[in-house]
Structure 1
Amino acid sequence: MSTVQIRDVRKSYGAHPVLHGVDIDIADGEFVILVGPSGCGKSTLLRMVAGLESITGGTISIDGRVVNGLEPKDRDIAMVFQNYALYPQMTVAQNMGFALELAGTAKDEIKRKVDHAAGVLGLEPLLQRKPAQLSGGQRQRVAMGRAIVRDPKVFLFDEPLSNLDAKLRVKMRAEIKALHQRLKTTIVYVTHDQIEAMTMADTIVVMQGGHIEQIGTPLDLYDHPKNMFVAGFLGSPAMNFLDGVVAKEQDAAFLDLGGAGRVPLAGGMSHTVGKSVIVGIRPEDIGIADTGGIPAEVLVVEPTGSETHLAVRLGGQEIIVVLRSRVALIPGERVHLSFNDAKFHLFDKDTKEVIREL
């Protein structure tokens, strides 16, 4: 078993707290991604699991053993850093086997493990090269291979793809996910990129300001965000937010968007009638109406090939619309928008917590 339990973990630098009682349970073989904006505490938490940062309060356990006071080498973890941390004077094979050499592992065993990891990662032709002769993606695979040869209980990844270009990031995402499916080892992965989190994780932990906002599967968090921060952080383009008032007329509920118009609401909202709310709607849940709809002005048209992204002005508010087709629109043109009312998220204007979810 390779479980990780994080219980009421706190971290302060002097009088400045950066983590405020974090609780996470990570199952054996689970791929968990900590995601959030810069400064939210995700990398600090990962380094505490690794033993590279001290713990101010709480406990971290690996396989039921509290590791608070253990050195990194005694935790049976392997960490892949953002900058790869390869030794420039060593070959790929030497880099991958160096930790085993330090541990006194026999040379034939080191070679066996290095060859196995190289086979898993497609590094066999590169074993005698040095890091300077490798591309960014190849260096990243070497850093991963160095972790694999140790056969750790837990892999830790600290923003490993942030130094790669966009095309290579997509390729490496697939490689890391495929690696996890083959090895079935517990992975804790830190990123600020919500696309990485959505495409790779079994479970996402969304963090902000040293607190956990929500934990769940990628689609669970996407479809059922508990507050505006999670709703706005996950999804690209981001969720639209509009100011509105819940109203009722002849037993039909609707959202009054002020000068922008009125949008029908599904039933069950009687308890919020008259309440000022913030309405969340994802760009893909808005379309161009054939008849009726709410008038809007096109501001920007961005064709992406398979989709068309529109920035439009609705009343005095700007929103993004994603169409699954190509459209011949120009800035300044008037369109009428239709909304999938079953996909509305209503948030309390003061607390920013969800009032109604899907």
Structure 2
Amino acid sequence: MSSVTIRGVQKKYGALKVLHGIDIEIGDQEFVVLVGPSGCGKSTLLRMIAGLETVTSGEILIGDRVINDVPPKDRDIAMVFQNYALYPHMTVFENMSFSLRLRRQPKNVIDGKVREAADILNLSKFLERSPRQLSGGQRQRVAMGRALVRDAEVFLFDEPLSNLDAKLRVVMRTEIKALHQRLRTTSVYVTHDQIEAMTMADRIVVMNAGRVEQIGTPLELYDSPANMFVADFIGSPSMNFIHGRLRKSAEGAHLECADGTPLAVPAATGATDGQPIVLGVRPEHLRLASGSEGYEAIVDVVEPTGPNLQVYATLAGVPVCAVFNERHDFRPGDRVRLNFAEGHIHLFDEANGTRL
């Protein structure tokens, strides 16, 4: 097992720069997820680790070895692709053993490794089937098994669940996490789905437009986002944002909204009086207020999900979402009063989006 170090890595295609100096330290046995919107550079970075893309500048290391110019086959990595990449004319056993047969491993070694991997992935009874006789989830397990038999130092996953239906994605992400907990192989996983990132990762790297916005554990990113991009991208439903100007006085501080509504904010904000700022609050931290407390909101849409109730409303002239664990019989047009949960208000500089 080995660490992966990415130092000042840039990638250009002619005059187009797609990665702008990426620095990431991935520890031995760690499961790190690269997440971000389409076009942010996460798959390009993964392919550079794999050796499928060249490095324009900077260094990539596996352990203490710089691998910039090392051929993919000599990097001791195993990759699981989005489209499975199985040979349709081969059986499951032949697909899983392909890399071992290319290396001319002894037959008994190949048989042992394939059957061990098949047992781990619940594929033992499918070894003689062809890929077309398998479900999507089973095919993905075969692709994982093909990587598993190689005993590689690093596993790379390039959006492996994006072709599966919603229910199967939940099952497979649990299986991948359980597999990592069992094998403890250093893993780098790419996805655009922040729920996958939150549920699977030891640490998450949030990328945007070829840059790293923040690196941290799932809860660090959720509870203390470094900027508005991370705050908006991590969490479902995403964080509510209310723009306004900070007003300070001897009595405290408040956000003056565009419609004139004053929303109380912590006094020690690090911003100056009159500065344009953005208040952020997660949907589950909007609470029903009692009596005349809180702020009036008008209900627009009610979405019962079963475990909770998502209520979309207008507060201070701004659309917001509130999530309640309790059942409420709200109707569009109802007027409710909402409060912010104490200690869960986030403030950002409107000019650059950074956390205050």
Aligned to 1:199: 199
User: Cα deviations across residues 101-125 of structure 1 (Å, max 9, x unaligned)?
Assistant: 0011011100000000001111111
Q: How does 1:57-206 map to 2 (within 5 A)?
A: 57-206=57-206
* 1:245-294 residue CA offsets vs partner (Å, 9 max, x unmatched): 22234432222334363232234237533322111110000011122211
> Compared with structure 1, are the counterparts of its residues 16 and 258 closer, same or farther at alpha carbon in structure 2 (3 Å cutoff)?
closer
Counterpart check, 1:22 vs 2:26: no
Between the two proteins, the alignment pairs up a number of residues equal to 355
CA deviations 1:112-154 (Å, max 9, x no partner) are 0000000111111111111000000000000000000000000
2:301 maps to 1:321: no
Moved over 4 A (4+): none
Provide the residue aligned with 1:273 in structure 2: 273
Please tell me the residue identity of whatever aligns with 1:280.
Answer: G
Letter in 2 for 1:42: K
Amino acid at match of 2:29: G
Q: 1:103 to 1:122 in 2, by over 3 A?
A: same
Residues 96 and 143, structure 2, Cα contact 8 Å, conserved in 1: yes
In the alignment, the residues of structure 1 paired with residue 209 and residue 276 of structure 2 have an alpha-carbon distance, to the nearest angstrom, of: 27
Q: How is 1:204-283 mapped onto 2 (pairs within 5 angstroms)?
A: 204-259=204-259, 261-269=261-269, 271-283=271-283
The whole-number CA distance in structure 2 between the counterparts of 1:282 and 1:54 is 40
One-letter amino acid of the structure 2 residue matched with residue 301 of structure 1:
V
Q: Deviations over 1:302-345 (max 9, x none)?
A: 00111000110113210111111111011111111111241111
Q: Distance in 2 between matches of 1:115 and 1:93?
A: 8
Q: Which secondary structure state, in structure 1, belongs to the residue aligned with residue 259 of structure 2?
A: helix
Contact 1:260–1:295 (CA<8 Å) still a contact in 2? Answer: no
Structure 1 residue 205: deviation in Å? 0.4
Whether 1:31 and 2:31 are equivalent positions in the alignment is yes
Give the TM-score of the pair, scaled to structure 2: 0.97
Cα distance in 2 for partners of 1:327, 1:301 equals 10
Structure 1 residue aligned with 2:287: 287
Task: Answer whether contact 2:276 2:351 (CA < 8 A) is retained.
Answer: no
Alignment-mate amino acid for residue 209 of structure 2 = G
Structure 2: 5+ residue stretches without partners: none
* Identity, % of aligned positions: 59
Q: What RMSD, in angstroms, separates the aligned Cα atoms of the two structures?
A: 1.2
Residue aligning to 1:352:
353
Shift of 1:99: 0.4
TM-score normalised to the size of structure 1?
Answer: 0.97
SS at match of 1:174: helix
**Conserved 8 A contact 2:281-2:344:** yes
Mapped to 2, the partners of 1:273 and 1:340 lie a distance apart of 24
1:299 corresponds in structure 2 to 300
Bigger drift between 264-273 and 119-128 goes to 264-273
Q: 1:227 is aligned with what amino acid? A: N
SS in 1 for 2:226: coil
Query: 1:79·1:157 contact (CA, 8 Å) conserved in 2?
Result: yes
SS in 1 for 2:279: strand
Question: CA contact under 8 A between 1:41 and 1:208: conserved in structure 2?
Answer: yes
CA deviations 1:142-170 (Å, max 9, x no partner) are 00000000000000000000000000000
Deviations 1:148-206 (A, max 9, x none): 00000000000000000000000001000000000000000000000000000001000
Distance 1:154 1:97, change over 3 A: same
Distance in structure 2 (CA, Å) of the matches to 1:38 and 1:349: 25
**Residue aligned with 2:343, SS:** helix
Query: Aligned equivalents of 2:270 and 2:97: distance in 1?
Result: 65
